[in-house]
Chain A
Amino acid sequence: MSHRSAPPRSAITVAAASVMLIALSGCSTPAPAGEAASTPGITEETVTIGTHHPLTGPAAAGYASISAATTAYFEYLNEQGGIHGRTIEYVVKDDGYNPSNTQNVVRELVEEDEVFAVVNGLGTPTHTSVLDYLNQKKVPDLFVASGSTSWNQPEKYPYTFAYNVDYVAEGEALAQYAEDEFPGKSVCVLGQDDDFGTEFTTGLQNVLGADGLASVQTYSVSNQDVVAQISAMKAAGCEINMLATVNGFTALAVGTAAKLGYAPQWFSSSSGGDYPTLVTFLGADLAPKLLQGFVSTNYLPFGQDDEWRALFEEINTEYNDDAPFDGNTVYGMSVAYLFAEALAAAGEDPTRESLIEAISSGDLEGNGVVPLSFGDDSHAAFMGVGITTVDGGVQDFVGSTYVSDGKGKVSKDDVEPVSLSNEGVPED
């Protein structure tokens, strides 16, 4: 018996010994310290960057068009000569809004595709799962598509910068607007059961007081049913319902309430308040009725006669197969513009360090309706918002801008938006 089994054992021994030998010879050239000479993702002609977005799964319907818009803007930019003579290649990977997929695709971007930076990774739960990894690897983690305050921790996460308005600031702005325009109404909230919902609710409470909310409801993305939550809000007599929901769940909440014969005033965060996207969920005939008076925040140039919007519509027609033009399109192109601006500011031969420095300098302007908040001690993009409402199927700014000081105080401001120059191409 021992005879029969001898060959495999000696084979293993030999194999093990030979692999050990190869391994030891491999040790002499340690892998990690090797590549100091060149910056990953940068060649003479190109800059390769990547992102993770939900192209499939529960959040896809609301957000899948963002990365297409970003890609379209980069194509436009590349045709104008790119930045410092380099064209931008944008690698988009699908994570299905599932944190475990995000882990895989982001590692693939960093290790396999060797991207220069990760730009506009989408989602609070998804991006949280790669935050430590990206900072450990010292990969610039720019303009995360989420307003969680996690991205604004310069000491802990020096490589991470936010893009969306801070959720706390957004909650504060909406609560202040409610107090200003709808005084004395009973306010409630429906939030996603993660940082998005929690921080937004914190913002509301900063203004309304700890017991200022008549009902606090949460939902989980994996369960596509909010009847229980909406019924509870109806029972609690909520007159203004604040929504920290992704687009699909905004539509679900509004639709469910309509089915229950319940018509409160809706206030939504910018993440789930894009009217053209909501129309695709609710239908073109129902949406204008269900969403009449719908209040939402926005910090990007979405006004009906905005010059940025006009440019983006042109780019959308020419480089994005004339896809439906909505808030996601403006969002995708605006974040692309901001990255281009940062890359231009990072110098002729950008490195990961010079890119981070360029953003931290606080000199970037972007194209928001409120100024960018980037600086040495702040990695938040926007601390303020404009208020939009829907009237007769058209979403537009009402003219009020609310800016938070980051400590629970909100001020109503009149801020001049950044005007368009050089046809939307950052100057080198």
Chain B
Amino acid sequence: MTSLTGTPRVIAGGVALTVLAIACTFLLDPYRNYQLALVAAYLCATAGLTLLIGLTGQLSLGHAALMAAGGYGYALTANALTDAGVEGLPRFILGLIAGVVAAGVIGLLLGLAAARLHGPYLAGVTLALVIALPAFTSVFVGVFRGDQGVQIAYDGVPEALSALIAVEQWQAWVAILVAGITLTLLTLVRNGKAGLRMRAVRDDEVAARLSGIPAGRVKVHAFLVSALGAGAGGAVLCFVTQSVSPGAYTLAFSLLLVVAVVVGGLGSILGAAIGSALIVLLPWLVQTGTGALSLPGELQQRLSGNLPVLVFGALLIVVTAVWPGGIRGALRGRKASGTAASGTTGHSPSEPISTEPLTTEPLTIQPVSTESER
């Protein structure tokens, strides 16, 4: 078991974690498996987003719309294939590809805009995308079916497995598998030369250009990669819930994705995982909590929709105040001080690209590269 390094090491780590997660599904009841499948689907998107924000400093408030593109791409393709008599694995794979491609195309367009826009202007464009989504699905109601969204046929457990596992567990497997592949690929991008270039562009765009890095192309590339992740997430979410509708991809959800990656720890894949788990579990925990308090019915109704958002906001403030590196940074900080490792502050550019599977040195949140403009 000596030195697996670089790409094989990341792949080995990815496979190990995927197998681990799939094994975990046996310990969970169906509803928890459903929640796990949701976490895995969101993780595809947050992992892409954390890469985008953390590595290139480009803020996207439109990732919900990219997920929706993945979801609609999957649903429309799956329905077309169902009509054509294609079922099972081919339908899923083709649908997934269509979803990822749909999100990729939009991501590419956004990326082209991103290469020309900075900070708030870029955020504005991505914001417009997610706000326009319900209007778009209403205008092309024949295809996207308005607020009602598109429904797809149920994909049951394959026969060979049907005696062994429940349908939720099967869905969790599929979601975990897609998330595992997506995350491994994203980690490879992140740890490889492309990731290094992204960081260089983020830290000092002028210096990067002077070193011969095509900053514009790197930014477009980052947006594209991140959108592909979101597309995969949206497609998987559609597979798990058998439907996609604009109501699932609101502005609030887009913001939630950003909050999740910031709370988890910007730039870190583990942070994205923590953030995705929070998106799924926090509303449920809050609801269970308020349910246990036996509050008057009307108050409980009002709280059930709003309290999770409030808790998220509070969490964001507390986490960024106490651990600027997010929860991931906090975890790492404790570990490092325990082993008296060589300092926990930030990363030095000369440090070799990380070799830990799926995670690297925490990126301290830096105010996005505006100060280095001149």
* Interface residue ranges, A against B (CB under 8 Å): 1-2, 5-6, 8-10, 12-13, 15-16, 19-20, 22-23, 26-27, 30-33, 55-57, 64, 68, 94, 96, 98-101, 103, 107-108, 111-112, 124-125, 128-129, 131-133, 136, 193-195, 218, 220-223
* B residues less than 8 Å from A124 (CB atoms): 148
**Is A20 a contact partner of B23 (Cβ separation < 8 A)?**
yes
**Is B16 a contact partner of A16 (Cβ separation < 8 A)?**
yes
Q: Name the contact of B149 in the complex, choosing from A23, A64, A129, A136 (C-beta under 8 A).
A: A129
* B residues less than 8 Å from A30 (CB atoms): 163-165
* B residues less than 8 Å from A111 (CB atoms): 29-31, 34, 168
A-B residue pairs in contact (CB < 8 Å), sample of 28: A1-B355, A9-B12, A9-B13, A9-B357, A16-B16, A19-B20, A19-B27, A20-B23, A26-B26, A27-B164, A31-B30, A31-B169, A56-B301, A56-B304, A98-B245, A99-B147, A99-B148, A99-B149, A99-B243, A103-B241, A108-B31, A125-B146, A125-B147, A125-B149, A128-B243, A220-B146, A220-B147, A222-B246
Point out which of A31, A112, A218, A223 has the most chain B C-beta atoms below 10 A from its C-beta.
A31
Residue of B nearest to A150 (CB): B151
Q: Name the contact of B247 in the complex, choosing from A23, A64, A98, A108 (C-beta under 8 A).
A: A98
Main DSSP-derived SS at the A contact region: helix
Interface size in chain B (residues, C-beta < 8 A) = 56
**Is A112 a contact partner of B31 (Cβ separation < 8 A)?**
yes
Scan residues 241-264 of chain B and give those whose CB is less than 8 A from a CB of chain A.
Answer: 241-243, 245-248
**Is B145 a contact partner of A100 (Cβ separation < 8 A)?**
no
**Is A221 a contact partner of B147 (Cβ separation < 8 A)?**
yes
Residue of B nearest to A101 (CB): B247
**Is A19 a contact partner of B23 (Cβ separation < 8 A)?**
yes
* B residues less than 8 Å from A55 (CB atoms): 301, 304
Residue of B nearest to A12 (CB): B16
* B residues less than 8 Å from A221 (CB atoms): 147
Scan residues 1-36 of chain B and give those whose CB is less than 8 A from a CB of chain A.
Answer: 1-5, 12-13, 16-17, 19-20, 23-24, 26-27, 29-31, 34
* A residues less than 8 Å from B141 (CB atoms): 193, 218, 220
Indicate whether A9 sits within 8 Å of B19 (C-beta atoms), given known contacts A107-B34, A132-B242: no
* A residues less than 8 Å from B134 (CB atoms): 220, 222-223
**Is B352 a contact partner of A1 (Cβ separation < 8 A)?**
yes
Whole-angstrom CA separation of A26 from B3 in the bound complex: 34
- In the complex, whether B153 has a CB less than 8 A from a CB of chain A is yes
Whole-angstrom CA separation of A306 from B23 in the bound complex: 61
> In the assembled complex, how far is the CB of residue A300 from the closest CB belonging to chain B, in whole angstroms?
24
**Is B149 a contact partner of A132 (Cβ separation < 8 A)?**
no
> In the assembled complex, how far is the CB of residue B134 from the closest CB belonging to chain A, in whole angstroms?
4
Q: Name the contact of A8 in the complex, choosing from B163, B301, B356 (C-beta under 8 A).
A: B356
**Is B246 a contact partner of A136 (Cβ separation < 8 A)?**
no
* A residues less than 8 Å from B166 (CB atoms): 31-32
Residue of A nearest to B163 (CB): A30
* B residues less than 8 Å from A132 (CB atoms): 151, 153-154, 242
Q: Name the contact of A23 in the complex, choosing from B16, B26, B156, B163 (C-beta under 8 A).
A: B26
Whole-angstrom CA separation of A13 from B23 in the bound complex: 13
* B residues less than 8 Å from A218 (CB atoms): 141
**Is A100 a contact partner of B245 (Cβ separation < 8 A)?**
yes
* B residues less than 8 Å from A20 (CB atoms): 19, 23
**Is B26 a contact partner of A27 (Cβ separation < 8 A)?**
yes
**Is B151 a contact partner of A94 (Cβ separation < 8 A)?**
no
* A residues less than 8 Å from B4 (CB atoms): 9
**Is A99 a contact partner of B154 (Cβ separation < 8 A)?**
no
- In the complex, whether B305 has a CB less than 8 A from a CB of chain A is yes
Scan residues 169-210 of chain B and give those whose CB is less than 8 A from a CB of chain A.
Answer: 169
- In the complex, whether B281 has a CB less than 8 A from a CB of chain A is no
* A residues less than 8 Å from B305 (CB atoms): 56-57, 94, 96
- In the complex, whether B374 has a CB less than 8 A from a CB of chain A is no
> In the assembled complex, how far is the CB of residue A397 from the closest CB belonging to chain B, in whole angstroms?
32
Residue of A nearest to B280 (CB): A104
* A residues less than 8 Å from B3 (CB atoms): 1-2
**Is B245 a contact partner of A5 (Cβ separation < 8 A)?**
no
Q: Name the contact of B135 in the complex, choosing from A31, A32, A125, A223 (C-beta under 8 A).
A: A223
Point out which of A8, A9, A57, A98 has the most chain B C-beta atoms below 10 A from its C-beta.
A9
* A residues less than 8 Å from B30 (CB atoms): 31, 111
The 8 closest A-B pairs by CB, nearest first: A100-B248, A111-B31, A2-B3, A125-B148, A98-B247, A23-B26, A194-B148, A193-B146
Whole-angstrom CA separation of A125 from B34 in the bound complex: 22
**Is A12 a contact partner of B357 (Cβ separation < 8 A)?**
yes
Residue of B nearest to A219 (CB): B138
